[in-house]
Amino acid sequence: MSYAFDIGARLLYRDALLLVIDKPPGLPVHPGPRGGETLTDHLDALRFGLPRRPEAAHRLDRDTSGCLALGRHAKALARLGKLFAGSAVDKTYWALVEGGPTEEAGRIDLPLARRSDDPRSWWMKADPAGDPALTHWRVLGRADGRTWLELKPVTGRTHQLRVHCAASGWPILGDSIYGPAPRGSALHLHARSLSIPLYPKREAITVTAPPPAHIAEAAAPMGLWAQPSQDV
């Protein structure tokens, strides 16, 4: 798939230190071992007069859409990195899952570890001896044997939301790694909002991204009315 798009049109927030963009689904943020196009290839268009391009301040999976924070220079990246590493940033995701919980809200407290010792592998598993991982969830809607969830990760483990949902018995729709979806399916996971306490004497910066078309369409029977973003 080619991502010949105007990244400036996906800019959600801009100030002297921070940019937040609406990352399209299916586009990796950083180069991988197999090469191919990445979001990094488009970031020069967001310099806005600075000598270097901005860089991602945190991780977002290739198949996950939505809010991605970028630091505009080295000092900004360092400040943002500390905030994300210290769990000071409030992150909210939307997910559509197969089946769903019987309750209306709850938490998943389940440690995670890598499936393999291979440092190139990003696949994870639930493991009592793994790193602590905590996710709060809330039901936003239900229809046709699926559930629309709000997910708030307290920790930031790799693939945390995908593993937590799958281990709970309700895998995220389109997840071909941790769920039954065939390879190449569209993952229904969206980084809905970020709230970043970047400036000590100001309120946290809160940015929201509209859902992509495939999530908006699937969640419409559950009551989602938000205008979807334009898919690439």
| Predicted confidence (pLDDT) per residue in 51-94, tens digit | 999 999 999 999 999 999 999 999 999 999 999 998 899 999 99
> pLDDT-derived band of residue 115, with 50, 70 and 90 as boundaries?
confident
Per the model's pLDDT, the better-predicted residue between 232 and 132 turns out to be: 132
> What average pLDDT does this structure show over 169-181?
96
What is the distance between the alpha carbons of residues 57 and 13, in angstroms, rounded to a whole number?
Answer: 14
Q: Which fold has domain 7-222?
A: Pseudouridine synthase (3.30.2350)
User: Would you call 61 a catalytic residue per the annotation?
Assistant: yes
Q: What is the pLDDT of residue 34?
A: 66
Sequence-distant (6+) residues with CB within 8 A of 164 are 108, 110, 133, 135
**211's tokens:** 């859902």
**172's tokens:** 């995220």
Sequence-distant (6+) residues with CB within 8 A of 113 are 124, 125, 127, 129, 130, 131
> pLDDT-derived band of residue 227, with 50, 70 and 90 as boundaries?
very low
pLDDT digit string, tens, across residues 160-171: 999 999 999 999
- Residue in 61, 90, 127, 231 annotated catalytic: 61
> pLDDT-derived band of residue 118, with 50, 70 and 90 as boundaries?
low
Average pLDDT of the chain? 91
